[in-house]
Structure 1
Amino acid sequence: MSKSFDIIIAGGGAAGFFIAINIAEANPNVKIAILERGKEVLSKVRISGGGRCNVTHACFIPNDLVKFYPRGEKELRGPFNRFCSGDTIEWFERHGVALKIEEDGRMFPVTDSSQTIIDCFQDAVKKLGIQVITGQSIQSIFKAENHWKIDTQSDTYLCETLVMTTGSNPKMWQMLEEYGHTIVPPVPSLFTFNIKDNRIKNLMGVAALASVKVRGSKLEASGPLLITHWGMSGPGILRLSAWGARELAAKNYQFILQVNWLDDVTHEECLDTLKALKQEQAKKLVAKKSPFDFPNRLWESLATASGIDDVTRWADLSGKQLNELASQLVAGEFQVNGKSTFKEEFVTAGGVELKEVNFKTMESKIVEKLYFAGEILNIDAITGGFNFQNAWTGGFIAAEAISNR
């Protein structure tokens, strides 16, 4: 026997819960169900931000906020003008969750626990009478004239409005393709680079503010770079991976990474600085102490790579050594062979083609009474709470549009 609801939300993640709660608060008599294929709901919320849940980012101007989205920048401008980071803070405070801003702009619950967000959502759905049904793997969706029929492996559901918040789920994308939607093929975004190189071999944990670029392309980024036991990570690398998601996939993650350990210093400027040091520190050992704002271990390694040994003094440096040292500092080349997932925060570039969605309502332009929010769309952001903000904004707009129907 089929079970009937007014609205069914496919996907028990952040966007799904947010939509359900917002609709139910505006329409207490509407029958809503959330269908989740797993045993657990909100699993990405649980692991986000190392278990603290990076709810949003303290960037309150829509035109600035969109710049953190390699895919979705243009489309999100309007939505962010309607529901932005400040609205997210207010929403959670209204629901009993206070947020705090960290130095880098990331925002977390004051409790430093993702459980606070999960409890907030679970309490709200219980209070509002929203049914959360787990273990429901959707096998097919069928649009009749005035309702949807959804078959899971165990049950049949009927509803008037269907909301898809199933994230990066290829099976769901396939079903949407059958309804005429275009799916941009998924590729990983937000990953770290695998690099085996003697210059960084024993420097695990060393960090520096650097700019990085992919040789032979326009891809570049800057920010803290962290040396790991498998290669390089940190915000600068993640930013590059997000913006270069498609291009780097096409290269099969084999490319030359150019690193400027002095961020925006040019080769000429660096050489001038090194020549001045040769005069000022003539009698001192070159490799002994870093004259720049990064760790001694890294400096020592780059000096060694430039053919400078432990007993060479500044005065003894040849023009060739100075030139090589400048090159290592501002244009060091590292061979990247593959990638690794960044923590558990797996983000995908790809999904429902954005031209096929009305961003004033989050409704499909192709199928009536079909709505989207979250990572099911071809929208993704760099790390820092931005992917969640996309879920909250899309969720709010979809909920408002459905409520107004």
Structure 2
Amino acid sequence: MSLAWKAARSSGLHGLLRVPGDKSISHRAIIFGALAEGQTHVSGFLEGEDTRATTRIFSQLGVHIETPGAESRVIHGVGLHGLQGSAQSLDCGNAGTSMRLLTGLLCAQAFDSVLVGDASLSQRPMARVINKLDVMGARISARDGNFAPLHVHGGQRLQPVEIDTSVASAQVKSALLLAAMYAEGESVITEPRPTRDYTEAMLQALGWPISYSPGRIRIRGGGRLQGGEIRIPGDISSAAFLITAALLVPGSDITLENIGINPRRTGILKALRLMGGRIEIFNESEQGGEPVADLRVLHSALKAIDLPESLVPDMIDECPIFFVAAALSEGTSHASGLAELRIKESDRIASMVAGLRAMGASVTETADTVTITGGRLHGADIQSRHDHRIAMSFAVAAQCASGQTLIHDCENVATSFPGFVDLARSAGMILE
């Protein structure tokens, strides 16, 4: 059953807020905890539909995972070669991260596997992962060569490679790294532009022989992972919606606690600061190898920018909320290098352009660019296209719009930000 939200103008956001754990790190904690020797204790785990799908899959593969309390997991690792095949398909739900990373892991196993997903995930391209893994000797069959279901054929002997990912995608890179763990020898993986390094950092923290710098990784097969403690910080992608709302709504002053500020994820903070956003970063520390901090955000008069293309890979999931900020800023903003947005949960360029135009914004698009002239917005009927980040972006836009906004098909917000409506309302957003 479709879930719709009603949203309207806010009079200000206030309070000390904590967002759910980082989704990218939560996926990886399950994966690498399962492949480790001994127990891995995870705290701050994201209780979202995507991460729970990953957990269910590893349970199918013979890994015992306990849930001692909310946002915590105890993973009883089975080691690098301890996974067991499943006679049933492995359902990734809406989780593209899970499907792409697991393709890299499962192609190195002794057994065959079938990865499936929901209607949205089944339309998202997988060929760029499949084709790179094929170079290593993997055998993966896909519908039309590009889409789930993916039939991953086990029993292949994977070869070490020197390979460029061709696209700035942490998911493609991570799939290759997982496969390279099983190859006999050293692999070197490079990227056209650096992407988030959560996979590399967690492998290193758990003892795997790996060295890396931005855009280049050396990894040797045949190592061992040792279970340990993983503390997951708050997800900056989730925080971005509240940050942007506080910047845009007059009178706002919020503080967000324990947010992950990995340099490969803070593009949105840099972009909003370039626009004049007042975002204070304090209480900086390190948590399980990841930098974390508290953020104070105050209402600011934002000005349009030409978004530096170098920031795009570090804020690819935050581009929709950046478009909202641009639509409510003074002047005309331009962003390029956005082709990756076309193949997310929805075509996020098309989804955002249609919604912003419905709210009265002046927006133009090309295949990989968006130009937005800031101004006043009014309420409208918005189709989120079952995309969680589109739904939350327009919930923020509505806080500065005249009249009421109705946002359709919001059920998938549970994949990344369970409790979004309750937390947003507690801060002062008008949303039901």
Do the two structures share a fold, i.e. TM-score over 0.5? no
TM-score, normalised relative to structure 2: 0.22
TM-score, normalised relative to structure 1: 0.23
**Larger RCO (alpha carbons 8 Å, 6+ apart):** 1
